[in-house]
Amino acid sequence: MQHAYGSTQAQRRSARVLVVDDDPTVAEVVAAYLDRAGHVVDRAGDGPSALARLAAHRPDLVVLDLMLPGMDGIEVCRRMRADGPVPVIMLTARGDEEDRILGLEVGADDYVTKPFSPRELVLRVESVLRRSRPPAAPGHRMAAAGLTIDPTGRRVTKHGVELTLTLREFDLLRFFLRHPGRAFSREDLMREVWGWDFGDLSTVTVHVRRLRGKIEDDPARPRLIRTVWGVGYRFEPGGEAN
């Protein structure tokens, strides 16, 4: 099987990627690899500059360093999300688990720990971009428990009110609706929803928690996404709270 990084440019669709990092060497290397992968790259060295570039020309994806001078990556991500959905991959230090989780909590779709392989980062970028694009063929609407998913428009409503979901939250909810009543481990969800065979499972935990906060009437007593102790999670459209 051909490695994703080695696939031809004709098999990709070019995207505009904003790289935000105050280390010019890191930013230059990341930009060079993304450029080789066929993407248009813009760069910013701090939070205010990143927000200005976002306002001037909205990118398809943002690679965002957590440790920025002045306004850190958490605040930049929060402000980006307030302006509308945009996929974000956060760059974090290897030991900063709390910061990585906080990044996911404010809406980052993925993270890569430093030091990292530029090839791995490109693969993560490609994975997030693939999932953020509308499907080539119109998808069927799905509905359960007052929730309606429009796969083509990537929209979700609850009792007719549109919800604001991140890329991964949308994919996670769609996967649950496609498999009601079935228990999945976090490893299963990481493989099926994220498309990875390995990774930090806390990513799944955080996204489930965020999704519950948006679709459950009482997130503290979830009725729809239920915890299956010792296994993982199960979607129950008509279940009782647990």
Does 202 or 242 have the greater pLDDT score? Answer: 202
From residue 226, give the alpha-carbon distance in Å to each of 138, 155, 190, 242: 30, 23, 17, 7
Q: Quickly state the pLDDT bin for 3 (edges 50, 70, 90).
A: very low
pLDDT range class, residue 98, cuts 50, 70, 90: confident
Query: Which residues, other chains included, contact 42 with Cβ-Cβ below 8 Å and sequence gap of 6+?
Result: 16, 17, 18, 19, 53, 57, 59
Q: Average model confidence (pLDDT) for the chain?
A: 85
Average pLDDT over residues 112-120: 85
Banded pLDDT at 9 (limits 50, 70, 90): very low
Q: What is the pLDDT of residue 199?
A: 67
**Is pLDDT at 26 greater than 80 in this prediction?**
yes
Span 5-10, average pLDDT: 40
Q: What is residue 139's predicted lDDT score, i.e. its pLDDT?
A: 65
Q: Tens digits of per-residue pLDDT, 180-229?
A: 999 999 999 988 988 777 667 888 998 999 999 999 999 999 999 999 99
* 34 compared with 137, residue with greater pLDDT: 34
Lowest mean pLDDT among 43-52, 163-172, 221-230: 163-172
Exposed, middle or buried by CB within 10 Å (0-12, 13-18, 19+), for 19?
A: buried
CA 112 to CA 20: how far, in whole Å? 14
Mind listing the pLDDT tens digit for each residue in 117-150?
888 889 889 888 887 776 555 567 888 889 999 9
Does residue 175 surpass a pLDDT of 90?
Answer: yes
